[in-house]
Amino acid sequence: MQCDFRKVSACFHETFDCVASSGNSLAYVPNGDVVQTLHEMDRLVSPGGYLYLDTRNWDKILREHQRFYLYNPVFRGEDRINLMQVWDYPDDGTIIFNLLYTFERDGKIFQKEIFEERYHPIPSTLIFDAIQNMGYEDIEIYPCPAVAKERPLEELAWYAVLAHKK
């Protein structure tokens, strides 16, 4: 089934013990629609259930304003796969992630791939205020992935939120 994230409650007629948004998907929604989207998710959470989301730490990203991200190569058989990300910060407030892959064999590039992802950086206060205003309790913040070292929120590159519905 496929539906608009901002109207997800129209696609389901039951409630669930946990409703989740993972993989930074909430950042595809413009900030003006984030609260509506969280309310749509809330409509699907059973009383006593949980709302879960994970997202990049957009506050940290905007504060640091890093542009280039270089990663160690990955080796698959005889092939070397290289990844570099270049982040653009347009004036409209979005961030564009340009993912540049090269594939090498015998020291020569035989394939290039470029992907572009546009995100709407979400201030953490927007998320936490909305969840609190919907009446959620025991709002917990975890590093994401779960194996990441626990740190204060402002230091996390990515975090998860788990909130309990009354």
pLDDT tens digits, residue range 9-52? 999 989 999 999 999 999 999 999 999 999 999 999 999 999 99
Equal CATH topology for 5-58+120-165 and 62-119: no
- CA distances, 68 to each of 64, 72, 95, 96 (Å): 12, 13, 13, 12
Task: Please state, in angstroms and rounded to a whole number, the distance separating the CA atoms of residues 52 and 141.
Answer: 10
45-56 and 16-21 as β-strands: parallel, antiparallel, unpaired? parallel
CATH number of the domain at 62-119, out of 2.20.25.110, 3.40.50.80, 3.40.50.880, 3.50.50.60? 2.20.25.110
Domain ranges in the chain? Answer: 5-58+120-165, 62-119
Report H helices in the chain: 31-42, 58-64, 124-133
Q: 31-42 and 124-133 are packed helices; what angle lies between their axes, rounded to 10 degrees?
A: 30
| CATH code assigned to 5-58+120-165 | 3.40.50.150
Torsion from C-alpha of 64, 129, 163, 29, nearest 10 degrees: -60
* pLDDT tens, position by position, 109-165: 999 999 999 999 999 999 999 999 999 999 999 999 888 888 999 999 999 999 999
User: What residue has token string 């990049």?
Assistant: 56
Residue 82 φ then ψ, to 5°: -110, 140
pTM: 0.89
As given in the structure block, the two tokens for residue 82 are: 């290289």
Torsion from C-alpha of 144, 148, 154, 158, nearest 10 degrees: -30
Strand order in the sheet with 45-56: 16-21, 45-56, 158-165, 136-143
Task: Decide if pLDDT at 1 tops 90.
Answer: no
